[in-house]
Amino acid sequence: MMTQIKTAVFALFAFGFASVAQAGDFLSDYETAKKKAKEENKPLLVKFTGSDWCPPCKALNKAIYSKKEFKTAVEKDFVVAVLDFPRSKKLPEGQLEKNRGVAKEFGIRGYPTVLLIDQKGKVIKKMVGGFNGEVKDYLKILKSAVKAGRFL
């Protein structure tokens, strides 16, 4: 009986952690990412994607977000959240509704959309659509936007 309880508790914890770190090393919960960005005093990079149906989203993931070089470099300067809007893939209970709320808050109308947000919640940069370049070029765009402190 005690072993079954321990197994059930472990499964609940494992499910909870999986829902926060669904997109590889990136967070999948906006509120968690926002809190972490504030704690670490880093800008927040939020990617809105349709991972299983959107061709430009798949291309951006393949070219940039899935690359080890990007993951390693980006997390030094940013907290990254990937908010997914899949059609076939199942998200953890309530996650899609949370993602829709964040998308509505920022007026997201297409995928992929990437927002760079400062610690005060202001959007520094908004990128819509794919990206035709290298990881280093993408990182340069992000870092220069933060450095310039440009707001939309």
pLDDT tens-digit profile of 92-104? 999 999 999 999 9
Give domain 2-148's CATH superfamily.
Answer: Glutaredoxin (3.40.30.10)
Please give the pLDDT value at position 5: 44
Average pLDDT over residues 70-81: 95
Q: How far apart are CA 24 and CA 107, in angstroms?
A: 26
Please give the pLDDT value at position 26: 95
Q: Where are the domains of the chain?
A: 2-148
Question: Which strand ranges, in their side-by-side order, compose the sheet holding 123-128?
Answer: 79-84, 44-49, 113-117, 123-128
pLDDT surpasses 50 at 10: no
pLDDT surpasses 70 at 114: yes
Average pLDDT over residues 31-38: 95
119: Cα separation from own chain's centroid:
16
Backbone angles phi, psi at 131, to 5 degrees: -145, 125
| More reliable by pLDDT, 120 or 100 | 100
pLDDT surpasses 60 at 19: no
Sign of CA dihedral 82, 55, 140, 127: negative
Provide the pLDDT confidence category of residue 150 given band limits of 50, 70 and 90: low
Please give the pLDDT value at position 122: 92
Produce one character per residue of 35-51: b if its CB has 16 or more CB atoms within 10 Å, e if not.
ebbeeeebbbbbbbbbb
Q: How far apart are CA 55 and CA 89, in angstroms?
A: 15
